[in-house]
Amino acid sequence: MFRRRQPTTVDSPAEDAAAAADDSGSPDAPVNRNAVTAGKGRPTPKRSEAERRRRPVSAPSDRKAANRQYRERQRQDRVRRQQGMQRGEQWAMPARDRGPVRALARDYVDSRRRLSEYYMYGLLVLLVMLVVPVRLLQSLVPPLVIAAVAIMMLEGYFIGRRVNALAAERFPGESTRGVRLYAAMRALQIRKLRVPKPRLKPGDSY
């Protein structure tokens, strides 16, 4: 019986060179340094700074004190918004008062005196006439009311028409939806009570 001869492996020249380099332990052998991590691009915060960032916002432990603090903040926000609205600042205005078209409508209405702004005073006079026990004065109330309503509607119509034409001329492309009614309702308000406050005086150019 003859023993089967073990097959001999033939190493390639590249494998022989790698094995020789590992056995020799030469310092010139290449080393894989892919384990190095990239920097994060900002300095590491100090411990005190990190703890200060993680510190929760201090709030009153008493529930009543917390409610008082919350109400005070709300009151301050309302006052700040009201002051901004009086000055005509856009951020403080409600949606119905914002935009260049609405600002133009306010300036047009405020630029002159109109009969509509005395409407509230006229209502007070009519109310007094109804209370006074004089039949002649009481009989005059219905026709005066009809005349006041007719004047208010006619003036509001012409104001809205003029404002709509001005907005289309000066701000083409801007929406004019509701601007007629907006201008007419502002004309009915007493000048001192208008919000936002008038920027123009009677006779000023708009």
Helix axes 100-110, 135-170, angle to 10 degrees: 140
- How many Å apart are CA 113 and CA 191, to the nearest integer? 9
State the Cα torsion 160-166-170-175 to the nearest 10°: 20
Helix (H, G, I), strand (E, B) or coil at 130: helix
Q: What pLDDT score was predicted for residue 24?
A: 45
What's the sign of the alpha-carbon dihedral 113, 117, 119, 120?
negative
- How many Å apart are CA 56 and CA 180, to the nearest integer? 52
Copy the structure tokens of residue 186: 């502002």
**pLDDT tens digits for range 183-202:** 999 999 999 999 888 989 99
Copy the structure tokens of residue 156: 């509001």
Q: How large a percentage of the chain has pLDDT more than 70?
A: 70
Residues 202, 108 contacting (CB under 8 angstroms):
no
Q: Does the reported pTM lie above 0.85?
A: no
- How many Å apart are CA 154 and CA 161, to the nearest integer? 11
Residue in 177, 167, 171 with CA at minimum distance from that of residue 106? 167
Q: Which amino acid, one-letter code, is at 21? A: A
Q: What pLDDT score was predicted for residue 40?
A: 52
**pLDDT tens digits for range 65-101:** 888 888 888 888 888 887 887 777 778 888 888 999 9
Q: What pLDDT score was predicted for residue 183?
A: 96
pLDDT at 63 over 80: yes
In this prediction, residue 52 has a pLDDT band, given cuts at 50, 70 and 90, of low
- How many Å apart are CA 54 and CA 42, to the nearest integer? 19
Q: What pLDDT score was predicted for residue 124?
A: 92
Q: What pLDDT score was predicted for residue 34?
A: 47
Residue 25 neighbours by CB under 8 Å, 6+ apart: none
**pLDDT tens digits for range 114-136:** 999 998 999 999 999 989 999 99
Q: How large a percentage of the chain has pLDDT more than 90?
A: 42
Q: What pLDDT score was predicted for residue 45?
A: 54
Residue in 66, 95, 65, 92 with CA at minimum distance from that of residue 79? 92
Cα separation values, 106 from 1, 45, 75, 84, Å: 119, 54, 28, 16
